[in-house]
Amino acid sequence: MSAFATPQGTSRYRTRFQTQLADGHFRRAQGLWLSSIGIGTYLGEDDAPTDQAYAEAITRAVELGCNVIDTAINYRFQRSERSVGTALKTIFKTGKASRDEFLVATKGGFIPFEGHAPKDQEEMQGYFDSAFIRPGILLPEDIVAGCHSLKPRYLQNQLDQSLKNLGVDCIDIYYVHNPETQLSEIPRKEFYQRLLRAFELLEQNVSAGKIRSYGMATWNALRAASNASDYLSLVEMEELARTVGGIEHHFKFIQLPFNLAMPEAFAFHNQKRNDDRGTILKVAEDLGITVMASASLLQGQLSENLPAQMSQALGEGLAGDAQRAIQFTRSTPGISVALVGMSKPIHVEENLRLATVPPLPFEQYRRLFKEV
């Protein structure tokens, strides 16, 4: 059995749901069949009940037709990755799915702490010293904005820790997490050098079989105006990947927020491309890079009180505003997966019912931009 998502495995998973779920729920990306709704693991308390809730939510999501799991080493101070690990053990033990049927993505860059937030500056410094400085993984000057590093030795340490936390032999996507954080302190030229070294390390990890592909998970970088200090050009990022990996490089995924209140990826022509500009979704498509949307519910805020006109335009037949907001994101041409944070199994049940409904036809989707 392969240690990662495969075309055959994800196709098998999709086939199991063929009679229950709507056409268009699974999409082809990088040769894999991925569900249009993925489960995210960012928010929530750093406590055992939330760990347990996430483990149950992830297990239930995989049972209901969601085969994309997104996490990051720093989410809930490594507890989210460990909850994914707990869920995977249950999924394998009970035979609900096999490893080649679903995709596991995680991220590195932010210093993660160990299980809980440090209670004060002294505890934080003690953690930095014992985990990274004394073992020679980081020098104090490698830490940017007090929380982030792209140093290859550090990223390797983090990637290996993620493999342990998740209990897997291989991670399907390893994202550099919010790299634009560094632009607040580092000159752009130096930043590109750091990213180049990070990509080089990630290509080595692909060769070593620890990851299948890599990418960038961002907040502002890819949807900001091109003159913003934290803007990043996807074309330039892909060039960096080509420099280290050649045309067969493995920089295959990006993540950025996209929801009813943050529609830039579809609507804003901010990305430089030759002599003109395109939306990030179009430029990513041209470059063969798959897009995952984060914060599909604007961190829960779009799960209620949507304006009536908007609800109507999204389909009144849907059961509630959370489904409507997710329907918007998953119906966007160019977005393969709408990630939704769900620590509660009841939210998984509600949101995955949407998988029985096809995404909006493009004409209906487009009217949202004209009429609402």
Ligand X SMILES: NC(=O)c1ccc[n+]([C@@H]2O[C@H](COP(=O)([O-])OP(=O)(O)OC[C@H]3O[C@@H](n4cnc5c(N)ncnc54)[C@H](OP(=O)(O)O)[C@@H]3O)[C@@H](O)[C@H]2O)c1
DSSP 143: -
Q: Which residue has 């390797």 as its token pair?
A: 156
Pair 48, 82: CB distance under 8 Å:
no
CA–CA distance, 328 with 262 (Å, rounded to integer): 11
Question: What's the closest the beta carbon of residue 95 comes to ligand X, in angstroms?
Answer: 26
Is residue 44 part of the contact set for ligand X (CB under 6 A)?
yes
Residue of 167, 140, 162 lying closest to 151 (CA atoms): 140
Q: Return the range that interacts with ligand X (CB under 6 A); candidates 151-159, 220-228, 260-268, 344-352.
A: 344-352
Pair 265, 222: CB distance under 8 Å:
yes
Is residue 178 part of the contact set for ligand X (CB under 6 A)?
yes
Is residue 46 part of the contact set for ligand X (CB under 6 A)?
no
Strand pairing report for 68-70 and 271-273: unpaired
Residue of 336, 362, 340 lying closest to 351 (CA atoms): 340
Q: Which residue has 């990306």 as its token pair?
A: 29
Is residue 279 part of the contact set for ligand X (CB under 6 A)?
no
Between residues 278 and 341, which has the closer beta carbon with respect to ligand X?
A: 341
Among 255, 327, 331, 332, binds ligand X (CB under 6 A): 255
Q: Return the range that interacts with ligand X (CB under 6 A); candidates 14-22, 60-68, 340-348, 353-361.
A: 340-348
Among 263, 300, 315, 358, binds ligand X (CB under 6 A): 300
Among 233, 270, 290, 303, binds ligand X (CB under 6 A): 303
Q: Which residue has 């991925």 as its token pair?
A: 34
Using DSSP, state whether 298 is helix, strand or coil: coil
Site for ligand X in 97-136 (CB under 6 A): 107
Site for ligand X in 184-243 (CB under 6 A): 217-219
Among 340, 354, 360, 368, binds ligand X (CB under 6 A): 340
Among 128, 337, 347, 352, binds ligand X (CB under 6 A): 347
Is residue 296 part of the contact set for ligand X (CB under 6 A)?
yes
Question: What's the closest the beta carbon of residue 231 comes to ligand X, in angstroms?
Answer: 15
Between residues 257 and 278, which has the closer beta carbon with respect to ligand X?
A: 257
Is residue 35 part of the contact set for ligand X (CB under 6 A)?
no
Residue of 138, 194, 202 lying closest to 175 (CA atoms): 202
Residues 114-135 as b/e (b if ≥16 CB within 10 A, e otherwise) read eeeeeeeeeebeebbeebbbee
Report the Cα–Cα distance between both ends of the chain, in Å, rounded. 49
Between residues 8 and 299, which has the closer beta carbon with respect to ligand X?
A: 299
Site for ligand X in 54-73 (CB under 6 A): 70
Q: Which residue has 């009841």 as its token pair?
A: 346
Chain residues binding ligand X by CB under 6 A are 40-44, 70, 107, 177-178, 217-219, 255, 294-300, 303, 322, 339-344, 347, 350-351
